[in-house]
């Protein structure tokens, strides 16, 4: 009997292993890019995972806690110098985005990114030269991973926290122009969108070309099968079939049309892995009434200047005094925490200082907090956020309306979208169209008043419309399948050897002129008109000749 059980266990283990995939994950260490990819890697618990990232990721999560025979972590550069370079790049990125628009800062960021991302690609090539994988999954910022997949005929999957609208797609609002999808149905805004795109392109092209050339020069050329993977010819001629798993609901305003290779799967959140926490903070949160807490967090790279912190804190204190049944939880990184303390000590209104120092009503946390666990609590009613896409999706997934306080990059467009779709309110009010055109979307110096903070909080606090809108988006994301569906899509993609062409709708396989029936229009209308015109001219010419004779 014992022998039979032993044989059964061995057989079961062999069957499970025979269906295991060897999966290589490649992602940079930035918190917003790392989190959804890591969640996806953890969800593939029945497969063998190799997780390649930067040491920077250690700041945001304890990767060593996931290490197991089936989950291996590799760093692109595990030296102290490597970590310091990665940290320096993030610091420079923050400085550039804090003082320039994305378009103006882009050339400098591209130049800085060359060395950092070449380390990731170098390490990826080194791993691929020694090991074989069934599929490679990469974050959206890892340039050129599909070229490596083509070289070894391995299916390629790209995880997109958001699939951005094409900068040159004139039917989509240019996010740097602060336009919305609703405005794009009006002719005047379509003209403005075109003008902004042309103006922005001509302004940055001269700076961007040298930066892209520098980036191209830094791409790895390692002797072996991948030596010519990043040649210009290969980059331009590559027609890879990448499966894009987009952690957004398909109705979200930044979405593009889904295809067999583009899947909208909602938030990549595993609620079962969030678990419980008996810390003092979570105990405090759970002790409050349902829907009574305003929770605020501002990302890992956002810097709040003194004047802006003053307006924010004064407005929050004003709101707390107006609503006796409300509570406040704020999470600040080190520099922002110091600024908060300076503002708190300098508030002229004694009532504001007293309410903010009341630990029963207000909690201030320094450093990172377990955001998903906090947002999951029914006592949290409103999410005050910097509007990074990852944070927006987490907040909406847990049905929390959002007060938007954007700082840089795509956060301004995200905040406009959230406000226009009644998912929250934004402290950012875009300037005039002319100012936006002149500054190329440089909104980082915008200001707001303490009254606007209090008023917008009160609007969401008293109006259930925002909560219902967030609930609808949450239901849509959960219906899309999330992590479970993502794992199934990857497994299915691999089983078909990375080819989903058979699922492409027939109209999409037609050529451009066939899709818009231009060939039929030519045959049915234009060609007959040309024949009639030819015959008419021929007859007229013959009549004139007869009269002459």
- When pLDDT is cut at 50, 70 and 90, the band that residue 545 belongs to is low
In a domain, 199, yes or no: no
How high does pLDDT run on average in the chain?
84
How many independent structural domains does the chain possess? 3
H or E, element range at 294: strand 293-297
CA 106/CA 100 separation, integer angstroms: 9
User: Residue 334 — pLDDT band, cuts 50, 70, 90?
Assistant: confident
| pLDDT value at 229 more than 50 | yes
**Residues 260-282 pLDDT 10s:** 888 888 889 887 766 666 688 88
Is residue 315 situated within a structural domain?
yes
At residue 116, does pLDDT exceed 80? Answer: no
461 and 336 in one domain?
A: yes
Residue 216 lies in a domain: no
Residue located via tokens 């999957």: 157
Rounded distance, CA 360 to CA 285, Å? 10
Angle subtended at Cα 441 by Cα 382 and Cα 448, rounded to the nearest 5 degrees: 40
Structural domain includes residue 344: yes
**How far, rounded to the nearest angstrom, does the alpha carbon of residue 5 sit from its chain's CA centroid?**
49
The more confident residue out of 220 and 371 is 371
Average pLDDT of the segment spanning 525-535: 86
Tens digit of each residue's pLDDT (9 = 90 or more) over 376-430: 999 999 999 998 888 999 999 999 999 999 988 788 888 888 988 899 999 998 8
- 314: pLDDT strictly greater than 90: yes
Question: Across 86-90, 280-284, 514-518, which has the greatest mean pLDDT?
Answer: 280-284
CA distance 438 to 192: 13
pLDDT at 326: 94
Residue that wins the pLDDT comparison between 131 and 442? 131
The CATH number for 472's domain is 3.40.50.2000
Instruction: Answer yes or no: is pLDDT of 12 > 70.
Output: no
Cα 307 from chain centroid (whole Å): 29
For residues 527-548, average pLDDT: 78
> What would the pLDDT profile of 20-33 be if each residue is shown by its tens digit?
899 999 998 888 88
- Interval 320-333: pLDDT, tens: 999 999 999 999 98
- Asked if 160 and 284 sit in the same domain, the reply is no
pLDDT at position 88 is: 80
The answer on pLDDT for 288 being more than 80 is yes
Same domain, yes or no, for 239 and 359?
Answer: no
| pLDDT, position 7 | 41
Is the domain of 257 the same as that of 376? no
Residue 14 lies in a domain: no
Helices (H) and strands (E) counted in the chain, each on its own, are 22, 13
DSSP 259: B
Residues 49 and 125 in one domain: yes
* 240 shares a domain with 276: no
Is the pLDDT assigned to residue 69 strictly greater than 70? Answer: yes
Same domain membership, residue 441 and residue 527? no
pLDDT band at 166 (very low <50, low <70, confident <90, very high): low
Same domain flag for 389 and 496: no
- 141 with 121: CB under 8 angstroms? no
- Pair 63, 141 in one domain: yes
- For the ranges 87-101, 285-299, 342-356, 399-413, the lowest mean pLDDT is seen at 87-101
pTM: 0.84
239-255 pLDDT per residue, tens = 778 899 988 877 776 55
- Domain hosting 119: range is 21-164+225-266+482-500
In Å, what is the CA distance from 200 to each residue of 194, 197, 387, 430, 459? 10, 5, 24, 18, 36
List the end-to-end C-alpha distance of the chain, in Å, as a whole number. 117
Task: Give domain status of residue 493, yes or no.
Answer: yes
CA 102 to chain centre: 15
Per cent of the chain over pLDDT 70 is 91
Same domain, 383 and 471: yes
Pair (59, 88) in one structural domain: yes
In this structure, are residues 399 and 471 in contact, taking their beta carbons and an 8 Å threshold? yes
Question: 31 lies in a domain?
Answer: yes
pLDDT in tens, 174-223: 777 878 777 888 899 889 988 888 888 888 788 778 877 777 777 777 88
The dihedral over CA atoms of 246, 249, 253, 259, expressed in degrees to the nearest 10, equals 50
Do 285 and 355 sit in the same domain of this protein?
Answer: yes
- Report the distance separating Cα 399 and Cα 468, nearest Å: 8
430 occurs within a structural domain:
yes
């Amino acid at each position: 009997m014992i022998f039979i059980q032993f044989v059964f266990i061995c057989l079961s283990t062999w069957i499970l292993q025979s269906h295991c995939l060897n999966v290589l994950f490649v992602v940079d260490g930035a918190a917003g890019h790392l989190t959804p990819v890591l969640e996806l890697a953890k969800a593939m618990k029945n497969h063998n995972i190799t997780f390649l990232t930067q040491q920077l990721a250690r700041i945001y999560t304890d990767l060593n806690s996931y290490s197991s025979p089936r989950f291996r972590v590799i760093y692109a550069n595990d030296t102290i110098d490597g970590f310091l370079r990665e940290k320096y790049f993030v610091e420079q990125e923050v400085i550039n985005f804090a003082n320039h628009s994305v378009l103006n800062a882009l050339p400098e960021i591209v130049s800085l990114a060359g060395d950092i991302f070449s380390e990731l690609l170098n390490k990826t090539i080194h791993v691929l030269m020694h090991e074989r994988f069934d599929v490679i999954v990469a974050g959206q910022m890892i340039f050129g991973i599909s070229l490596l997949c083509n070289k070894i005929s391995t299916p390629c999957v790209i995880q997109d926290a958001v699939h951005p609208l094409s900068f040159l797609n004139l039917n989509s609002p240019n996010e740097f122009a602060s336009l919305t999808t609703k405005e794009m149905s009006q002719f005047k805004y379509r003209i403005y969108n075109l003008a902004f795109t042309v103006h922005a392109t001509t302004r940055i092209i001269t700076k961007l070309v040298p930066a892209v050339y520098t980036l191209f020069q830094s791409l790895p050329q390692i002797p072996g099968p991948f030596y010519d993977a990043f040649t210009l010819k290969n980059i331009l001629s590559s027609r890879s079939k990448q499966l894009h798993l987009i952690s957004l609901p398909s109705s979200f305003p930044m979405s593009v049309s889904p295809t067999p290779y583009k899947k909208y799967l909602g938030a990549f959140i595993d609620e079962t892995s969030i678990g419980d926490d008996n810390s003092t903070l979570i105990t405090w949160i759970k002790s409050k009434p349902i829907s009574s807490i305003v929770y605020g967090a501002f990302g890992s790279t956002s810097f709040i200047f003194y004047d802006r912190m003053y307006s924010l804190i004064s407005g929050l204190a004003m709101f707390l005094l107006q609503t006796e049944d409300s509570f406040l939880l704020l999470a600040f990184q080190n520099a922002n925490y110091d600024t908060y303390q300076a503002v708190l000590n300098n508030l002229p209104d004694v009532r504001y200082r007293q309410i903010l120092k009341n630990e029963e009503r207000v909690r201030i946390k320094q450093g990172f907090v377990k955001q998903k666990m906090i947002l999951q609590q029914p006592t949290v009613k409103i999410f005050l956020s910097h509007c990074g896409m990852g944070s927006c999706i987490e907040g909406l997934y847990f049905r929390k309306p959002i007060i938007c306080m954007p700082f840089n990059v795509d956060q301004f467009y995200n905040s406009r979208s959230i406000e226009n779709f009644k998912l929250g309110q934004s402290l950012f009010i875009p300037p005039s169209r002319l100012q936006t055109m002149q500054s190329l979307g440089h909104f980082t110096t915008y200001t707001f008043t303490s009254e606007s903070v209090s008023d917008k909080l009160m609007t969401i606090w008293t109006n259930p419309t925002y909560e219902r809108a967030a609930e609808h988006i949450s239901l849509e994301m959960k219906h899309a399948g999330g992590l479970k569906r993502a794992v199934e899509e990857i497994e299915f993609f691999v089983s078909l050897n990375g080819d989903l062409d058979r699922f492409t709708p027939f109209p999409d396989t037609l050529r451009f002129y066939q899709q818009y029936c231009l060939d039929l229009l030519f045959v049915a209308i234009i060609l007959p008109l040309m024949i009639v015109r030819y015959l008419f001219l021929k007859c007229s010419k013959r009549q004139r000749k007869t009269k002459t004779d």
